[in-house]
Amino acid sequence: MSTLSQTDPITELLKRAKTIAVVGLSSNPMRVSHGVSAYMQSQGYRIIPVNPQIDASLGEKAYRSLLEVPEKIDIVNIFRRPEFVEEVVDEAIQLKVPAIWMQEEVIHEAAAEKARKEGIFVVMDQCILKEHLARFR
């Protein structure tokens, strides 16, 4: 297996980031969003659940929207169906979040382009857990 370049932007993002707001994080341990977020939390990232339907997940208070999160967010990780992505991206732009990560099968080209025009780094249709494992095993 070849090693990834040190100038790989995803590697640099994952090294630099400390706080990940997870939009659509479930409190159900059987959901993919929960498992992926639990892994990232185990790797030292602060996970902030963003889901209006839960009070907490992974021992962290949940917020109804990104705009309610009271601290700096390094990555917005999106586990929402594509039709809900644009609203999340608009909130991330308002907050000047440096990176948006759309999980596997979350694809919204127009929202991604809007974010990129605002200087936000965008990863789309990729799993943050898989990408972390590929780089930091």
Segment 115-135, tens digit of pLDDT: 999 999 999 999 999 999 999
- The pairs formed by 54-59 with CB atoms below 8 angstroms and a separation of 24 or more are 54/25, 54/26, 54/27, 56/27, 57/25, 57/26, 57/27, 58/25, 58/34
Q: Global pTM? A: 0.94
Could you tell me which CATH class the domain 9-136 is placed in? alpha beta
Q: What is the pLDDT of residues 33-77, one digit of tens each?
A: 999 999 999 999 999 999 999 999 999 999 999 999 999 999 999
SS3 100: strand
Tokens standing for residue 120: 């936000």
Give the domain ranges of the chain. Answer: 9-136
SS3 16: helix
The C-alpha atoms of residue 60 and residue 123 are separated, in whole angstroms, by: 25
57 has which bridge partners?
60
